[in-house]
């Protein structure tokens, strides 16, 4: 019997990468992509545990799961930061801060 690839390992890896890349989009997208990646990773991990000798790309699954966890953590941290900014400065304070940053570092 030939070795097969886990059905969602590549998708989990891609979702984990995009979860990290999108952590600055208010954290929401990162959390969603990471959660989907974790669900798919757990599904494939159960499939691998049933018959480990059949599947070959379990390392991709592990790496994707780790990246998804990191993406979720970064997304949660950024979301907490955004909530903190809005609660302390308000929308006007954030706009003033952006204008000040543009004056200092902008063109």
Residues ≥6 apart with Cβ < 8 Å to 68: 12, 15, 16, 19, 33, 34, 35, 37, 38, 41
**Taking the model in full, what pTM does it have?**
0.88
Helix (H, G, I), strand (E, B) or coil at 56: coil
Question: 4 forms bridges with which residues in the sheet?
Answer: 55
- pLDDT, residue 59, reads 95
* Domain ranges for the chain: 9-105
Give the pLDDT confidence of 29-67 residue by residue, as tens digits: 999 999 999 999 999 999 999 999 899 899 999 999 999
Q: How far is 90 from 87, CA to CA, in rounded Å? A: 6
pLDDT score of 107 more than 70: no
CA nearest neighbour of 69 among 7, 15, 5, 8: 15
| Whether 28 contacts 81, CB under 8 Å | no
């Amino acid at each position: 019997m030939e070795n097969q690839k886990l059905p969602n390992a590549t998708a989990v890896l891609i979702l984990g990468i995009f979860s990290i890349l999108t952590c600055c989009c208010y954290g929401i997208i990162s959390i969603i992509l990471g959660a989907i990646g974790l669900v798919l990773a757990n599904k494939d991990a159960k499939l691998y545990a049933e018959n480990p000798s059949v599947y070959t790309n379990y390392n991709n699954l592990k790496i994707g799961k780790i990246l998804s966890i990191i993406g979720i953590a970064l997304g949660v941290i950024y979301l907490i930061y955004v909530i903190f900014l809005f609660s302390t400065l308000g929308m006007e304070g954030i706009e003033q801060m952006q204008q000040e940053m543009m004056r200092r570092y902008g063109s």
